[in-house]
Amino acid sequence: MHLPRPRGPISEAVVEVVRGGRAEIPSVTDIRSEDAQIALWTVYELAYRGFGDASPDAERDLELLRWRHHAEDLLEAELRDLTRAAVDEARAAAATVEGRLRALVDAGPSTPLARHLQRRATREQVLAYLVERSVYHLKESDPQAFVLGRVDGPAKVALGELLYDEYGGGRPERLHSHLYAEALEACGLDATYGAYIDQVEAPTLLSNNVMSLFAMQRRLRGASLGHLAAFEATSTDPCRRIAVGIERVGLPDAAAAYFHEHVEADAVHEQVVMGDICGAAVAAEPAIEDDLLLGAATCLIIDAEASQALYDAITAPAPELAGAGR
């Protein structure tokens, strides 16, 4: 993958420094702007697959680390503000961490996206959805894998079990990111990692960046597990609807297969992550419960925002994403 297209002065400077050049990266005034989000995504990506045109040591560049620290502090503060009311309500609604996670999920925001894809979306709108979600699904579970080394005992065992399933259960052809690549290819889309990064919108970048924010710092391990819990607990219903939608518009079986697999897998993972991972993690380290709820509420709110934004974009009279399937 090559470095993404800068979307403003911040990402321009970040890309320049990642390339090995020198630049002072401007401070962030709006952490939700696409400029700040693509810049943060770029800095995080250095810890995943990286870029062919990046300097080999960019991951440890002090200017990038300084800027990331500043951007992460702003983002974390924003997320704590955004989730405070939902977390307080969940805390009052139940006494156990599993009960509190369930309360968060039950009260979480919903969007018309999955129902639209199921019942009314055109083929082009379904393709636009597949493109937008490729940013995450081509590195599915990679953020959460960073957390495995930071927990211990039963929580580690259960997280390892969940990741083993996500990573194909010993069968490369069942690797979930590979299933997604097959789905994209079957639909005539580009399955190359990062292929669509230059066209995805800020809310999608944000929904990816919060996973990396929680995954990259040991301090936030609870938030990463909580995010995973909410993600898995809100997956089966949309996946079932999207599989129906894909079949309805006549896209190939390989595309629907990815979502069928996730109905079954995520029905399992929801139970594993709620009871076996989060319950055990909080039993071992009660102090991380607050961050666990922060992570879960973040997932619910930020992913709903991304879903709503995508719904608005694909159903707008002059859809900006209509060319996604070219």
Partner 1 sequence: MSSGAPDAGRAGGREAGRDPVRVRVCPDGPLLLRGADEVMDADGRAHPVTRPVVAVCVCGGTARAPWCDGTHALLNKRRAANNS
Q: Which residues bind partner 1 (CB under 8 A)?
A: 106, 161, 164-165, 169, 236-237, 240, 263-268, 270-272, 275-276
Q: Cβ(312)–Cβ(115) under 8 Å?
A: no
CA contacts within 13 A on the Cβ side of 244 = 14
State which residue, 67 or 167, has the beta carbon closest to partner 1. 167
Locate 52 and state its tokens.
């062919």
Q: Taking the mean position of all CA atoms in its chain, how far away is CA 236?
A: 16
Q: Which amino acid is at 199?
A: Q
The nearest distance, CB 101 to partner 1, in angstroms, is 12
State which residue, 7 or 241, has the beta carbon closest to partner 1. 241
The nearest distance, CB 32 to partner 1, in angstroms, is 31
The nearest distance, CB 214 to partner 1, in angstroms, is 24
State which residue, 32 or 174, has the beta carbon closest to partner 1. 174
The nearest distance, CB 289 to partner 1, in angstroms, is 19
State which residue, 157 or 195, has the beta carbon closest to partner 1. 157
* Signed CA dihedral, 100, 102, 106, 108: sign only: positive
The nearest distance, CB 132 to partner 1, in angstroms, is 23
State which residue, 127 or 272, has the beta carbon closest to partner 1. 272
The nearest distance, CB 286 to partner 1, in angstroms, is 21
State which residue, 254 or 267, has the beta carbon closest to partner 1. 267
Q: Cβ(152)–Cβ(284) under 8 Å?
A: yes
State which residue, 275 or 319, has the beta carbon closest to partner 1. 275
Element (H, E) at 70: helix 62-93
Q: How far apart are CA 32 and CA 205, in angstroms?
A: 9
The nearest distance, CB 291 to partner 1, in angstroms, is 24
Q: How far apart are CA 63 and CA 23, in angstroms?
A: 9
Put residue 20 in one of left, alpha, beta given phi > 0 → left and psi -120 to 50 → alpha.
Answer: left
Q: How far apart are CA 34 and CA 177, in angstroms?
A: 25
Q: How far apart are CA 85 and CA 90, in angstroms?
A: 9
Q: How far apart are CA 179 and CA 193, in angstroms?
A: 13
